[in-house]
Amino acid sequence: MSILLQRSGYLLREKEERLDQAVQSLPEEDVYAPADPFLDLKARVHERLIHELDVARLAEQDPVTVRANVEEASRTLLAAEDVPMARQERLRIIGEIADEVLGFGPIQPLLDDPTVSEVMVNAPDRVYFERAGVLHLSDRVFKDAAHVMRVIEKIVAPLNRRIDERSPMVDARLPDGSRVNAIIPPLAIDGPTLTVRKFAREPYQTEDLIRFQTLTPEIVEVLRACIAMRLNVMVCGGTGTGKTTLLNVVSSFIPPTERIITIEDPAELQLRQRHVIRLETRPANIEGEGQITQRDLVRNALRMRPDRIIVGEVRGGEAFDMLQAMNTGHDGSLTTVHANSPRDALARVENMVLMAGLDLPARAIREQISSAINLVVHLNRMRDGSRRVTHVTEIVGMEGQVVTMQDIFVFQGRGLDDQGRVLGSVHPTGLRPKFSERFDEYGIHLPASLFEGAAA
């Protein structure tokens, strides 16, 4: 009987190998993750582990010891099941059970992979990840929709966030700072959906973004000078273009002697300075009370003697309070906004000021914008998945009803190479920024050639 079972196991693995070979020959959009024949087995062992483990005692041990103990317990319970499988298969299952107990189940290996920047669970058997700006379908699978829900609840529960039919959307963050969004039925028609945007364990530095060609050394020097002169800088771009990453790098130019207050929803920035106060919004409780918005936090921050205020992303009425802060002595503030161009970013800010419920004429809002924001840095996600700064634009003033702007640096594309990578680079437009008149005042010496001439 054991020989028959063993042969059945071999046949099953041979079938899986043939299936893998067939899958690899298909276009990626047609590939579906194969069903895991051991899903039920893993679920049974996991359930027994939860009942038998002393969770309180495990919490007192270091992570390495805890992992070893859980894997040893899994190995014992797995042996009791007497299911034939190869050694490598057994080790894989033991690791996945440990991920289920100690981590976030099937997606834990993707979260541990430093080359993966985003993880997206569209369905139990449709788990995608992003690497180097390109989406891939993974081989990770959940048992069913209830399994996905358990992982979502495991993420949000320690943060005192709730997700259920009355509150079917949630934003949260993992202990490492990664951003999490979950949305469930009835809003998500096909079942619970989970998106995790990861952040590097070590925040990217200026040299990293230069190496990725997101920035050029010339732009870095200009941004460093702008921060030193306490100009108000807004970073804009579409979803996933790297706005928060760039904001992290730009904020590193702030002197360590200054008091910085960050306002976010949720908290993501990883500032290196010591004198940083981090504020985070709070959603309403189950009775619909206790909500603290970004606008509330911006107003409170003004009473905390800030040298710099950094709003992770302006989304609504807090834009008005941010402009007020920038115009009333809180120079050197930073923020980001979703927009498709520098000009679109100003239109978005104008619309968000109107969301504050103030009866202000358009010209008054635009005058506030033109006097508050000095520089707009626009990011774009290219066709090959790379992120590039495509515009560094100065806000000059007003002409009639229009906020006037001038591009200081602009990206010039030259098509694609034979590997599909975007060719091109950022060049100066030849226009010297108005704020350069203040360089001497701050002891900043940038060569005039930095702004001269665009490459052909």
Same domain, 254 and 113: no
Task: Tell me which residue of 185, 95, 171, 174 sits closest to 140, measured CA to CA.
Answer: 95
Token pair recorded at residue 289: 């009370």
Backbone dihedral angles phi then psi of residue 194, each to the nearest 5 degrees: -130, 135
Q: Which domain holds residue 399?
A: 206-451
Contact by Cβ (8 Å): 170, 162:
yes
Q: Is the pTM of this model over 0.85?
A: no
On whether residue 65 sits in a domain, the answer given is yes
Q: How far is CA 248 from CA 115, 245, 254, 256, in A?
A: 19, 5, 11, 14
On whether residue 456 sits in a domain, the answer given is no
Same domain, 350 and 442: yes
pLDDT(55) > 70: no
DSSP assignment of 198-225 equals ---SSPPPHHHHHHTTSS-HHHHHHHHH
pLDDT-derived band of residue 453, with 50, 70 and 90 as boundaries?
low
Please, is 455 exposed, middle or buried when counting C-beta atoms within 10 Å of its C-beta (0-12, 13-18, 19+)? Answer: exposed
Same domain, 116 and 258: no
pLDDT, position 60: 66
CA–CA distance, 320 with 52 (Å, rounded to integer): 55
Same domain, 10 and 123: no
Best mean pLDDT range from 45-59, 67-81, 166-180, 207-221 = 207-221
CATH number at residue 323: 3.40.50.300
**pLDDT of 163-178, one tens digit each?**
888 889 988 888 887 8
pLDDT, position 26: 36
Give the helix ranges, DSSP H, for 128-281: 145-156, 206-211, 217-228, 243-251
- Give the domain-ending residue among 153, 183, 200: 200
On whether residue 4 sits in a domain, the answer given is yes
CB atoms within 10 A of CB 289: 7
On whether residue 315 sits in a domain, the answer given is yes
**pLDDT > 70: what percent of the chain?**
89
Token pair recorded at residue 372: 């508050």
User: What is the domain count for the chain?
Assistant: 3
Task: Tell me which residue of 250, 156, 235 sits closest to 203, measured CA to CA.
Answer: 250
On whether residue 50 sits in a domain, the answer given is yes
Same domain, 352 and 305: yes
CA–CA distance, 333 with 128 (Å, rounded to integer): 36
For residues 299-325, average pLDDT: 91
Widest pairwise Cα distance in the chain? 89
CA–CA distance, 145 with 193 (Å, rounded to integer): 9
**pLDDT of 314-366, one tens digit each?**
999 899 988 988 887 789 999 999 999 999 999 999 999 998 888 889 999 99
Same domain, 94 and 36: yes
Same domain, 54 and 172: no
For residues 16-41, average pLDDT: 49
**pLDDT of 389-445, one tens digit each?**
999 999 999 999 999 999 999 999 988 888 888 899 999 999 999 999 889 889 999
Token pair recorded at residue 311: 């709003």
Same domain, 283 and 349: yes
pLDDT(10) > 70: no
Same domain, 81 and 110: no
Cα three-residue angle 337-378-331, rounded to 5 degrees: 65
CA–CA distance, 112 with 279 (Å, rounded to integer): 27
Same domain, 330 and 219: yes
**pLDDT of 93-143, one tens digit each?**
888 888 888 889 899 999 999 999 999 999 999 999 999 888 999 999 998
Same domain, 159 and 249: no
- Give the domain-ending residue among 162, 180, 200: 200
Token pair recorded at residue 286: 């189950």
On whether residue 185 sits in a domain, the answer given is yes
**pLDDT > 90: what percent of the chain?**
52
pLDDT, position 241: 92
**pLDDT of 72-89, one tens digit each?**
888 888 878 777 888 888
pLDDT, position 24: 42
- Give the domain-ending residue among 102, 135, 153: 102
On whether residue 216 sits in a domain, the answer given is yes
Same domain, 160 and 92: no
